[in-house]
Every structure is written in C-alpha cells, then in structure tokens.
Amino acid sequence: MRAAVLHDIRRIEIADVPMPEPVGDRPVLVRIGAVGVCGSDVLRFGVGKGYGFPLVLGHEMSGTVVEDSPSGAFTSGDRVAIFPCLPDAADPMTEIGEFTLGTHYDYFGSRRDGGLEEYLSVPERNLVRLPEGVSLVEGALVEPAGVALHAVRKATVPANATALVIGAGPIGLLAAQWLRVLGVVRVLVSDIDERKRRVAEHLGFDTIDPTGSTSDARVMEATGGRGVDIAVEASGLGITFLQAVHAAAHRGQVVLLGDLSTDVDLPKETVSRILRRELTLLGTWNARITPRGQSEWDMVVASIGRTVNVADLVSHVFELEQAQSVFEDLADRSVWANKTVFAVSDEAKAEADAALAASFSAKQVP
C-alpha cells in the first residue's frame, strides 16, 4: 500500500509499505478515506516535535470498513470516523473511560503510524459510524470537533451566557459552535486574520478585530465593561491566555484549549484578577469516546450537518502524493489555509470537488 512517510524533519517520501498488522482488541481493517491536518502534524513535520522517525502522520481520520468487524457491529462498506487513542487496558484511567488521561496510551499519527496511508488496522472500539450524507472529508473533522466539544463542556453555561473564543481557526470555530449549541446566547470570536473572521461571521458569530488593541479590551467595549461568562483560549499563545483571563466576568470561566507555543508569566495584576473575580481556569485534553452511544464523539457525528457546520471550515483538499509540498507550505506559512484535508481513497477524492465547492473557507483562498 502507499503511504506518506516522514523520515526526518521536513522530509516526507511517498513509498510502498507493508499492509498493517492487526492492532488492539478485535482489530478491523479500514481503508482510509480522508485525513485532516492538525497543527501538531505541522510541528512534527517542521521541527520534529514527535516520538521519532520514520512516522506516518495523521490522527484526524475517516475511512471505510473493508471487512466485517469481529462482533458484527460494523460491516464491510460502513463509513467510520477513527478515534486515534489506543488506551492501556491496565491503566486506572482506562477503567473509567478516560482513555487519553492514561499514562501509557498509544496514539495513531504520533506514537505509531497514522492515517496518511491507504489502510489502517483499528480496534473495533475506536470506530464510530458516520451518518448517511456525511462525506469522508467531513468525517475527518470528527476528531477536532470532539476536542472542541470536550473543551467547552468543561464550562458551566449560566442563563443568558456570553462567551469569547480567541482564535478563529478550525478548533476555535468548532468551540464557538458548540458553545452556541450548549446554550450560550452570544459568542464573540476574535482573530487578527480577516479571512478567518469572515468565516466566523458566515457561521453567525459576532467578531472582534484585535489589531491595534487586545481581545480583552475589545470584549470589555462589546459587553459594557462586564466581560464574558466563558473565555476560550484557542490560539495557543501566552499573550492570548492572559487576554482570556482579563476578558472574563466575575465568576467567569477560562477554558485553556490551545496548546501554548510560548511561555507565559503571570503578572501580579492577572493573579489578582483571578482571585478577586473568583475565576475558574479549566484545562482540557482530547475527547471521550465513552460511554458507547452517549459519548462526545457520538454527539459529534449526530450533530455534523445539523447544528454543527464542519463543511465550511475546509479550505483545501489534497492527495497523498502532494504531502511534501503541502506540509512545506503549512510549515512556512506561505499559503493561507483554514482546514487542510488529504483525500486518500478514491471515494474521498470523488467527494473533494463537491466539498470545496460547498465550503465558505475555500472561497477565501486567493
């Protein structure tokens, strides 16, 4: 089978590799459909932030079941999203369904080969069936949508709630949509990128341009000095973390969704604000696929195309053979992109043109 293999920093080669060995409990062979590119993938390519080489990237994955699953829960031809975490059965966190909070879990696309190859062996428990009408390209966004849902569910939504999301990338815009689904009345989205603000506005959100000011200052203007009940930091910068804290109202909640790429010092006035406003800081990591039928991933697949729009986030769809140049462009930031997806299977390639034609983000590409 063909695979895009990362052999070293900034060096991907398309190669023939062996078919995957069975993985985990009740393994199922899946033909990979589409794979979304995460910022962590770009870091693994660009600076080697990973667990070694060679490695096949890709943890945001959809696919098609090739053979009936051992239990019969999935049959050949079923379209699925693939949960990337492979939990350690002996870990106490696994016993309570918190797979990603374990100490020794495995992970597709970082600790073991991921989705940028034609086939993957996946434990049956890691598969979630996609609804009718959801494309493989959309299915690749189930994973980031689950991450965003898990994050905002950390917060308690009060009556007549307001919220701020700093960062209008895919994760930020998914978080904004989930906040609205969960009952937040007004969601403000802040980003310095005009095109990303346009996508946010297309999705129905009020936007903030922090150019020449700061997100927290703009929020105070927009809320009459009160601040927001929930502030979500989705940019991954130390400065925006501080802004999220300073944008929160009394007894507000700050959700730390972005993985910080810079250090942050807590000034005395910021600590004082946390204390005197009785703010709550909420950490979040990944998502839950348990309990079966009522998990965050089940909620994602039930919501896509209904209350949550992932289609408008896709700005580019490429084929596997273009992996080297695509990752170079993303690492160098030489092109504008919102959500980049690889169409790996013929089925996903056949859906790519329609996905781009329907996407508002794709229309922002110069």
- pLDDT confidence of residue 253: 98
Query: Which phi and psi (to 5°) does residue 365 adopt?
Result: -75, 125
Give me the DSSP letters along 301-350: HHHBTTTB--GGGEEEEEEGGGHHHHHHHHHHT-S--SEEEEE-SHHHHH
- Whether 100 shows a pLDDT value over 90: the answer reads yes
Of 311, 300, 349, 296, which is closest to residue 32 (Cα–Cα)? 349
- pLDDT confidence of residue 185: 98
Given a contact cutoff of 8 angstroms between Cβ atoms, the answer to whether 153 and 224 are in contact is no
Average pLDDT, the chain: 96
Of 360, 342, 345, 270, which is closest to residue 37 (Cα–Cα)? 342
Summarised one tens digit per residue, pLDDT across range 176-229 is 999 999 999 999 999 999 999 999 999 999 999 999 999 999 999 999 999 999
Neighbouring CB atoms inside 10 A of 7's CB total: 12
Summarised one tens digit per residue, pLDDT across range 129-163 is 999 999 999 999 999 999 999 999 999 999 999 99
Summarised one tens digit per residue, pLDDT across range 8-27 is 999 999 999 999 999 999 99
- Whether 366 shows a pLDDT value over 90: the answer reads no
Given a contact cutoff of 8 angstroms between Cβ atoms, the answer to whether 70 and 55 are in contact is no
Whole-angstrom Cα distance, residue 174 to residue 296? 13
Terminal CA-CA length for the chain: 35
Summarised one tens digit per residue, pLDDT across range 217-273 is 999 999 999 999 999 999 999 999 999 999 999 999 999 999 888 889 999 999 999
Of 247, 144, 232, which is closest to residue 184 (Cα–Cα)? 232
Summarised one tens digit per residue, pLDDT across range 32-70 is 999 999 999 999 999 987 789 999 999 999 999 999 999
- pLDDT confidence of residue 188: 98
- pLDDT confidence of residue 48: 87
Give me the DSSP letters along 133-164: T--HHHHTTHHHHHHHHHHHTTS---TT-EEE
Q: Residue 118: in which H helix or E strand, if any?
A: none
- pLDDT confidence of residue 50: 78
